[in-house]
Amino acid sequence: QKEVEQDPGPLSVPEGAIVSLNCTYSNSAFQYFMWYRQYSRKGPELLMYTYSSGNKEDGRFTAQVDKSSKYISLFIRDSQPSDSATYLCAMSLYNNDMRFGAGTRLTVKP
């Protein structure tokens, strides 16, 4: 079993849809949870950063962490074609050694 599981997709949605991306993990000691967006042939770009459980909202993006279920989610409201990218979840103990999911490839169609 991988330490971080993420459905690789691909996921295709129409413009304006709500997108739900998810990851599960096995190490209950993880404290920091991140979502990165990676465009083709680029480095990952930090989208959301959460410490411990709870929700965090930033514009069209909402991150949720449920430590009891070892489950994290990223919601994208009013999705745009420019949101088309690979989304990576990441988590760590002390925010040093980040463990990444495999990434979910998202396409938002106009």
Partner 1 sequence: DAGVTQSPTHLIKTRGQQVTLRCSPKSGHDTVSWYQQALGQGPQFIFQYYEEEERQRGNFPDRFSGHQFPNYSSELNVNALLLGDSALYLCASSPIRLAGGQETQYFGPGTRLLVL
Question: Which range in 33-41, 55-63, 68-76, 77-85 contacts partner 1 by CB under 8 A?
Answer: 33-41
Q: Does 98 bind partner 1 (CB under 8 A)?
A: yes
- The answer to whether 56 contacts partner 1 (rule: CB under 8 A) is no
> Does residue 1 touch partner 1 according to CB under 8 A?
no
Least distance in angstroms from the C-beta of 8 to partner 1: 7
The stretch near partner 1 (CB under 8 A) out of 10-18, 59-67, 72-80, 89-97 is 89-97
Bridge partner residues of 75 (DSSP): 20, 62
Instruction: Give the nearer residue to partner 1 in terms of CB position, either 63 or 101.
Output: 101
- Contact partners, residue 96, CB within 8 Å, separation at least 6: none
Q: Which of 44, 74, 83, 108 binds partner 1 (CB under 8 A)?
A: 44
Place of tokens 């002390």: 94
Position among 60, 67, 70, 99 found at the interface with partner 1 (CB under 8 A) = 99
Q: What are phi and psi of 83, to 5 degrees?
A: -80, -10
Among 63, 88, 91, 108, the residue binding partner 1 under the rule CB under 8 A is 88
CA atoms within 13 A on the CB side of 78: 2
> Which DSSP string do the residues of 27-89 spell out, in sequence order?
-TT--EEEEEEE-TTS--EEEEEEESSEEEEETTEEEEEETTTTEEEEEESS--GGG-EEEEE
